[in-house]
Structure 1
Amino acid sequence: MQFDAWTGLDAGLMAPARLEAVHRSLIDSFLEDTVFRQLLSAGMMVLLAVFCWRYESSGLLIVWLLIGLGTVSYRSWCERAYRIAAAQRRDTLDNRVGFVRRMEPVYMLQGTVWGASLLFFFDRIDAYNQLACWLIIACVASAPLTSVALVPRLLRAYTNLLFAVLLACLAVTIALKPGPVRDMNLLFLVLPVLHWCLLARYGRFIFRRQANQFGEQYDLALREQEAQAVIRMKNRFLAAAAHDLRQPVSALSLYTEFLLENPESHLELAPKIASATLAVKNLFESLFDLASLDSGQISLHVEKVELRAVLEGLRVQFEPLAAASQVELRVCHSDLTIATDVVRLRRMVGNVLSNAIKFSAHGGRARIEVWDQGHGIRPDELGKIFEEFYRADRADLPTVDGVGLGLSIVSRLSRILKTRIRVDSLVNRGTRFRLELCDLHVGHARPMASRDVG
């Protein structure tokens, strides 16, 4: 609501970060060339006083001039204080809103001072000097438009008071005139009203155009950052993929050469070749899964699925991996039946389970909800673990196979299967993944009756 009240931006139509960036850019642009505008305003006040000096009480003119110049000086002080605070990394939303709030009465007073100036010249000095004074009023009313319009509240405070006071003074002055002269001078009321309406209209136009431009600049910068992040991610992936492929591909090359030279060793080399081939196959399967999920061309084969059969199949599949890692894998079966895509369900839960086994300390255990007693995940890393190719950069973590695609695939599958995933973790204590499956025929989240799969 602060954005709506103090800058005119619609908080409901912008993301908070974009709104913040646009707000900051508007204030920064508003403060550009502010010294020149202050000198111009002060100079115009002095010039108007010079035109009226011979015709008006010098005491009243001096008081009016001192109030006007004092307002300009205070405005200069407020802007300088804000610049200093912004330079000291205190350019926050609250500070900017506070700055606009402090400036509002300043602009109201400045508008009042300029509106009251009409009492010094209208129908009191010669026609040529009156024309000059009217030009000064038109200039000071219109000149700030391109800058003050960037903060609509300040523009309204300035122009509304300027024209309201000016019209009030003009109406009182005309009302004191004799009948025929009064009727002729009533035309003067029309021109300030038209000027006021035009300034309000163009002020809104300038604000919307500039806000949209700053919003587009933010979007471009954000897309550039995202593109840079994608490039860094792809570079990370290429490095990780090259690292993970080098060993099995090199092993396959060596085994093949050795087998060609020593055909009789095929029984000994066959398991090693199969293991290296499986590593390459798993990597490419992960890449293909990721590509197909990102393409959005996944068609689900929804059917009634017994969780007991799924969990038992996962136990058979991952028991050797768990045994090799000295991890106890236990299955608490469930008799629940849900409607889902059994292939994608196995893939999703299997990736979480595989990840838990890999990062469990020797002798720990993994369960589904998936629990492990591994190294845990730091709070600042929890939001990143589902990103493509992400690996925790910690020296105390063991080196494991894979390029960091498993949980990214889990994240995509969870959206397709309408599965809620919650992750809780304590460093050096372990991690828990909780999956709440959805019956796709019913269409609402339906937690598993038993979520303790070893």
Structure 2
Amino acid sequence: GSFAAHRPTQRNYILTLSVTMAAVILWRTVVDRQFESPAYHYWLLLLVVLNCVILLKTGEQLHRTSRRNAELRYRNDQLIGSLIQQTDAALAAVTVKNRFLASAAHDIRQPVHALALYADWLRNEPDLAREITPKIVEATKAVNSLFDSLFDLARLDSGQVQVRVERIDVVRLLKDLELQYRPMAQARGLQFRLRLAPGCVLSDQILLKRVLGNLIANAIKYTASGGILVASRRDGNGMRIEVWDTGVGIAVDQRPEHLVDPGGRDAHQPLGRHLEH
């Protein structure tokens, strides 16, 4: 294989062999005079020349075949590598989409649950319709905004999920979250309190609400008694948003890198009152 692939080595070997054979024949014919027929050595020389030509032609063909096979192997390796990369990229895209759908389903479940609680409350206390109706409207708006965020899924294919930065009123944002999560807290016998300092932040409203919603949902889920406190306060030139609860908390050496799982899975431990988010 390697001999046929290296054409100069192959050609030099054939020429050296043929010249050596011709030299031996001439030596035995002219010097030693071992051949009785004068024409016999010419026939031998002719055979040597023909053999040399045939070997050179055959070697050239072998060289071409070997080179073509090497090129095919190289192209096959490239094709296999490309297919592996495309497969990995496709699997990664599917994983991201699955995580996105799980996160979206988890986020949508919260305001829908709040709507169900408000509807049940309205059925049992029809006199409170004036108070409950605005809350139902706000919870419905929250569901609509979450459905709008599902359009980000179409942009996952091109890796262009865009963050829409806008000026957000922190007080209004946290009050919207209160409308969604207060019924859930009350259904578990928990207090839900806000401590608000006015201010604005620059962020993507849907993504920020999703992060805070996950924190509040986890706080409610893992708090057996007591309550939840959502607070905002000024921190230098910015704003600080905190979620506190009276759960058992997490030891410092046991806190995972990601405290909130987008899918709301039970793998994460409760968030204690001394844990700031």
Partners in 1 of 2:21 and 2:138 — Cα distance?
Answer: 100
Shift of 1:254: 2.0
1:253 counterpart = 2:116: yes
Give the C-alpha shift of residue 395 in structure 1: 3.5
When the two structures are aligned, how many residues end up with a matched partner? 193
Q: Whole-Å Cα distance in 1 between the matches of residues 105 and 132 of structure 2?
A: 24
**CA drift at 1:285:** 0.7
2:101 is equivalent to residue 238 of structure 1: yes
Deviation of 1:210 (Å):
1.9
1:366 Cα deviation from its structure 2 partner = 7.5
**In the alignment, does 2:196 pair up with 1:196?**
no
Question: Which deviations, in whole Å up to 9, do the C-alpha atoms of 1:361-408 show, x marking residues without a partner?
Answer: 9644677xxxx889xxxxxxxxxxxxxxxxxxx7466659999xxxxx
Cα distance change on mapping 1:362 and 1:402 into 2, 3 Å: farther
Question: Residues 38-69 of structure 1: CA distance to partner in whole angstroms, max 9, x if unpaired?
Answer: xxxxxxxxxxxxxxxxxxxxxxxxxxxxxxxx
- Give the Cα separation in 2 of the matches to 1:400 and 1:267: 37
Tell me the secondary structure at the aligned position of residue 177 of structure 1: helix
Give the SS at the match of 2:101.
helix
Letter paired with 1:196: G
| Deviation at residue 225 of structure 1 after TM alignment | 2.7
Q: What is the CA distance between 1:249 and its match in structure 2? A: 0.7
Cα displacement string for residues 66-87 of structure 1 (whole angstroms, at most 9, x for unaligned residues)? xxxxxxxxxxxxxxxxxxxxxx
- Distance in structure 1 (CA, Å) of the matches to 2:197 and 2:260: 16
CA 1:197–1:356 in 2, change beyond 3 Å: closer, same or farther?
Answer: farther
Distance 1:294-1:400 versus aligned 2 partners, 3 A rule: closer
User: Matched residue of 2:151: which SS?
Assistant: helix
The CA distance in 2 between the partners of 1:237 and 1:357, in whole Å, is 12
Determine the structure 1 residue equivalent to 2:75: 212
> What corresponds to 1:70 in structure 2?
none
Q: Which runs of 5+ in 1 are unaligned?
A: 1-144, 149-153, 297-310, 331-348, 375-393, 404-454
C-alpha separation in 2, matches of 1:252 and 1:170:
96
Question: d(CA) in 2 for partners of 1:247 and 1:323?
Answer: 15
Residue matched to 1:166? 14
Q: What TM-score comes out, normalization by structure 2 length?
A: 0.52
Classify 1:356/1:160 alpha carbon distance in 2 versus 1 (closer, same or farther; 3 Å): farther
RMSD between superposed Cα atoms in Å = 4.4
Listed as ranges, the matches of 1:371-386 within 5 Å are none
Quote the Cα distance in structure 2 between the aligned partners of 1:183 and 1:259: 113
Deviation at 1:259, TM superposition (A): 1.8
5 Å-filtered alignment, 1:30-179, equals: 145=1, 156-157=5-6, 160-178=8-26
Q: Distance in 1 between matches of 2:197 and 2:211?
A: 10
Report SS of the residue matched to 2:150.
helix
Change in Cα spacing, 1:326 to 1:202, as seen in structure 2 (3 Å) is farther
**Rounded Cα–Cα distance in structure 2 between residues aligned with 1:242 and 1:356:** 14
Give the whole-Å Cα distance in 1 for the aligned partners of 2:79 and 2:95: 24
Any conservation in 2 of the 1:328–1:364 contact (CA below 8 Å)?
no
Counterpart of 1:85 in structure 2 is none
CA distance in 2, matches of 1:260, 1:356: 29
131, 148, 158: which one aligns with 1:268: 131
Q: State how far apart, in whole Å, the 1-side matches of 2:70 and 2:233 are.
A: 63
In structure 1, C-alpha distance between the alignment counterparts of 2:91 and 2:19, rounded to whole Å: 63
The separation in 2 between residues aligned to 1:356 and 1:251, in whole angstroms, is 16
How far is 1:204 from its partner? 1.7
Q: Which of residues 119, 136, 140 is equivalent to 1:277?
A: 140
Tell me, yes or no, if the aligned pair for 2:115 and 2:140 is still in contact at 8 Å. yes
What is the CA distance between 1:183 and its match in structure 2? 3.8
Tell me if structure 1 keeps the 8 A contact 2:107–2:210: no
Alpha carbons of structure 1 residues 318 and 328: separation in structure 2 relative to 1, 3 Å: closer
Tell me by how many angstroms 1:282 deviates.
1.6
Flag the structure with larger Rg. 2
The answer as to whether partners of 2:100 and 2:153 remain within 8 angstroms in 1 is no
8 Å Cα contact 1:328-1:366 kept in structure 2: no
1:365–1:373 CA contact under 8 A, matched in 2 = no
State the match for 1:226 in structure 2.
89
Identity %: 26
Deviation, 1:206, is 0.9
User: Given the two structures, how large is their TM-score scaled by the length of structure 1?
Assistant: 0.34
Q: 1 CA distance for matches of 2:81 and 2:70?
A: 16
1:259–1:265 CA contact under 8 A, matched in 2: yes
Residue 204 of structure 2 corresponds to: 351
Residue correspondence of structure 1 range 319-334 to structure 2 within 5 A? 319-320=170-171, 329=200
Measured after TM superposition, the shift of residue 215 of structure 1 is 2.6
Instruction: For structure 2, list consecutive stretches of 5 or more residues without a partner in the other structure.
Output: 27-40, 159-164, 176-195, 213-231, 242-254, 265-277
The answer to whether the Cα contact below 8 Å between 1:283 and 1:402 also exists between their aligned partners in 2 is no
Residues 213-222 or 239-248, more deviating = 213-222
Evaluate the alpha carbon distance shift between residue 202 and residue 262 of structure 1 in structure 2; reply closer, same or farther with a 3 A threshold: same
In the TM superposition, what is the alpha-carbon distance from 1:201 to its structure 2 partner?
0.7
Alpha carbons of structure 1 residues 169 and 244: separation in structure 2 relative to 1, 3 Å: same
Report the Cα offset of residue 233 of structure 1. 2.6
